[in-house]
Each structure stands twice: as C-alpha cells, then as structure tokens.
Amino acid sequence: MKSLVTGANGFTGSHLVRALHQQGNTVVGFVRPESDLVRIKDLPTLLFYGDIVDQQALRQAMANVDMVFHTAAYVELGLVDHQEMERVNVQGTQAVLEVAREMGISKTVYCSTIGIYGNTKGQIVDENFHRSQKDFSSAYDITKYKAQKIVDKFAIDGLPIVSVMPSGILGADDPHFSPALKLFLKGWLKLWVGGDRITGIVHVDDLVEAMILAAEKGKNGEHYIISAGELPTREIFAILSQETGIDTPIELPEYIVRCVGNILNPIGRIFNWNPPISKERVHYIYERCVRVSGEKARKNLGWNPRSTRETLLDIVALINSGI
C-alpha cells in the first residue's frame, strides 16, 4: 500500500508516517520547501516539496498513491495571520481534495478537529451534534469549520473520504502542552491558569491508529470523534504531581489572567508577537467548552486508546527517557 501524508514533518503527520512505515506501507510525504524535517529524518520517506495549494505539486506527489492522509494545517490561537490560515486550512484542503478526485485516490482521511462543533457549553456531544454557536472563537475555528464543509461537500459528490475529529492531541513532542510539561518535570512551572478548564485528551499515537483504522474501515463521508476522555487541567497536574512528587503549579486568579490578556493583546499587535496570554486565549480558557464522546470510533472502528491517565504517564516516561 502506498500512502501520501500531507504535513508529513508536523507533529501528527510525523507520527503517522512512522506508523505507516511500521505497517509496511510505502510512504510519500508532502512538505513545504522550507520545512524542518527533523521529525522524519530517520524514516525512508519519499518527499515531495510544494505549497499546499499548488495542485501541480500535489499531482506529482499523488501519482500511484492508494490513500491520502491530509494532516497539513496552520494550527495556532491568538494573534495569527488570518489570511494565511485561510489559505492553508481552507484553500489547501480544497486543492488536496480536487487533486485526490482527479487522481482517483481510493480513500482520503482528513484530520479535522472537535472545534468544528463550536462551544457546546458543557454538553457532551457526538458526531450528530449540529453547531449552535453562531459566531466563531478564532481564525482557526472558522477556517477548520469552512474546510470541513468542503470535505463534506466532496463526500456528498462521491469522493471516498472520512473525517477524524481529534480532541487535544498530546505527545512527548507536541508543540503546545509538552513545553509546559517539560517545565513542570524540571520543577520550573510555578504558575498555571484555568484549572477548571476541561480538556479532551488523545495520545498522538492513538490518533494515528484511529486514522489508519478510518482508512481501512471508515464509511465514506463519516465523521469520527477521536478522544480518549477528558480532564480538568487541575486534575491533569494532580495526576502528574502524584506520579512525580513535584508540586502542582499555583493557579492564578481569573481576573489577573484577563488583565494580563488585555495588556498583552495590543502589545502583541504592535510588535507582531503572539503572546502566551491574549484575549482569544483567555476566551478559550474561561468561556469556551467543547465536550465530546469518542464512542463511535471505539464501536465502529474497533479503536481502543489508552486512558487519559495512561496517556499522561506515557508522555512523562518518554520525556524523562529523553525521547
């Protein structure tokens, strides 16, 4: 089997490339010319270089490919380049699917996000939930929502494609939570925010397993939420503290966090800097709550992920081992 992975050098994409190789697949990676390839440097991956909207480059990459896994995306919150995010996440998805249809790809798997459901306001939802939030919380929110609509339209028109909607993707090398986790393990993380914020969790390697299962067993046009469960941030640190003996960080009061966000937001705009706390990030921490059930993937795909606790402890072990 020959598979193409867009965004092959990224966090999710690189883990997917490794898993496909381990299963004996021939793997093609589609990356930007300036991409950092350190994550896949030891893997025998045939690389094609190009912009995600470049259909000619995509045609060359998809030649003689059986399956396409579309993981390439611009993922960020806060002060971002909205136009570039629209180009990559929306126009890029359109380009990938147009070429996949033209090239007669037998199956495409699109890596979406539970964010397409919007703020569920604490309600646990499944794939049948219809978004009730009328506005959008971020550029990432709206661009992934638009991209999903494109995917669904291609599915209706006959393209063999399935969508996976992961919750918070964790791993020893994830670019979002692992930097804070590494500080915690060194005893340097003294402050945290939003302990009540409920976070959906899935180990990156369990997500990759779900994507491969979706390619093998997923019904065309179907959506599969990929989440092993959820925990409040405070409980995440409690589990880590219990395992390591390291004190949990002190939680800053909400009013201080909001004040810091209000101050840093204009500073970030002036200096073209995305601060760690901004008005958008504060909104995600205190006001936006997306809760989901991954039961469909377990039942229909035979997906069996590690638990939330096992996920956290596995990542701690990997970081401590230096991997």
Express each pLDDT in 221-252 by its tens digit: 999 999 999 999 999 999 999 999 999 999 99
Supply the CATH classification number for the domain 2-170+201-227.
3.40.50.720
pLDDT for residue 157: 97
Per-residue pLDDT band for 322 (boundaries 50, 70, 90) equals confident
Per-residue pLDDT band for 214 (boundaries 50, 70, 90) equals very high
Q: Under DSSP, is residue 25 helix (H, G, I), strand (E, B) or coil?
A: coil
pLDDT for residue 323: 55
**What residue segments make up the domains of the chain, in order of their start?**
2-170+201-227
Express each pLDDT in 105-132 by its tens digit: 999 999 999 999 999 998 999 999 999 9
273 pLDDT higher than 60: yes
